[in-house]
Amino acid sequence: MAIRKAVIPAAGLGTRFLPASKVVPKEMLPIVDRPVIQYVVEEAVAAGVEQIIVVTSQSKRALEDHFDTHYELEARLAAAGKEEQLAELRRITSLAEFVYVRQPAPLGNGHAVLCAKHVVGNEPFAMLWGDDLIDSEVPCLRQLLPVYERYGASVAAVMQVPREVIPRYGICRVEPVAARTYRVQELVEKPPIERAPSNLAAVKEYILTPDIFELLERTPVGQGGEIWLADALNVQAREGGLYAYEFEGRRYDVGDKLEFLQANVALGLKRRDLGPGLRAFLRDLAL
């Protein structure tokens, strides 16, 4: 079955970016001139997704407004003859069908996914974090699709991480099955370095089979009084229903201040209108 829907959990407070994120959702922080969530949505659309389900909270109205029509702004752009900017705004609103679901309380990332159950229905779907992006020739989600199509199971995007940062990630115990492809035997959330089963970290996104909802409904409350997606994924792993693909590309955790700056520089350098000037500035700065 094709992956037609994508869930983006985006209800978190983004405390790592305070005070900027007090009013501006972290998913709306700009990478050059687009908010990070737009990169995430465009990746999903490039992989064939038709419906984007954003799980939000009370303070996240800006996410809805960004993908909605702004009649006054469009009228002003049209009157000023700014056709290129007008076309871009209209393109954003027509990327996909957008559905917004509220997470009523901060009850964990598993609970956030569960909030989208009534919209997703009984079909496989993509789940992408709203503050995580990968710069790659082939969109990351499209890289995962062949693995899902071959095994008919959930698929995690994974990458190798340096040993010293292992405790920051969910780390996979795996069995290689094909090039860059693994069957996940266990997902260990933020293990101590000496207990980590590998250096393969689950990041960025998943393709999930619909049984994940039933598993989340049965998942007991865990650390911090929250329901964790990793606990349900571990059940899938034990039953042979979770695979991983080591994607190609450079990943940026835009919720991290340093990686946010790195993403802006890296993507800015690729722009024809900005790259030469930015490159010259960086050379001067180095001197």
| Nearest in space to 9 (alpha carbons), one of 123, 125, 91 | 125
* Helix pair 36-46, 140-151: axis angle to 10 deg: 40
Identify the helix (H) or strand (E) that includes residue 160.
strand 154-160
Across 228-240, average pLDDT: 93
**What's the pLDDT score for residue 287?**
65
C-alpha distances out from residue 60 to 25, 34, 54, 68, 128, Å: 6, 17, 10, 14, 17
Model confidence at 261: pLDDT above 80: yes
More confident residue, 16 or 249: 249
Looking at 33-42, 146-155, 186-195, 243-252, which range is the least confident one? 186-195
Write the pLDDT tens digit of every residue in 94-143: 999 999 999 988 889 999 999 999 999 999 999 999 889 999 999 999 99
**What's the pLDDT score for residue 23?**
86
**What's the pLDDT score for residue 177?**
96
**What's the pLDDT score for residue 60?**
86
**Number of residues in the chain:** 287
221 burial via Cβ count (<10 Å: 0-12, 13-18, 19+): middle
Residue ranges of alpha helices (H) inside the chain are 36-46, 61-66, 71-79, 83-93, 109-114, 117-120, 140-151, 211-218, 229-238, 257-269, 275-286
Across 224-243, average pLDDT: 91
pLDDT level of residue 21 (50, 70, 90 thresholds): confident
C-alpha distances out from residue 145 to 133, 137, 181, Å: 17, 15, 12
Interatomic CA distance for residues 273 and 270, integer angstroms: 9
**What's the pLDDT score for residue 13?**
79
Considering the segment(s) 5-255 as one domain, its CATH architecture is Alpha-Beta Complex (3.90)
Q: Where in the chain is the domain with CATH 3.90.550.10?
A: 5-255
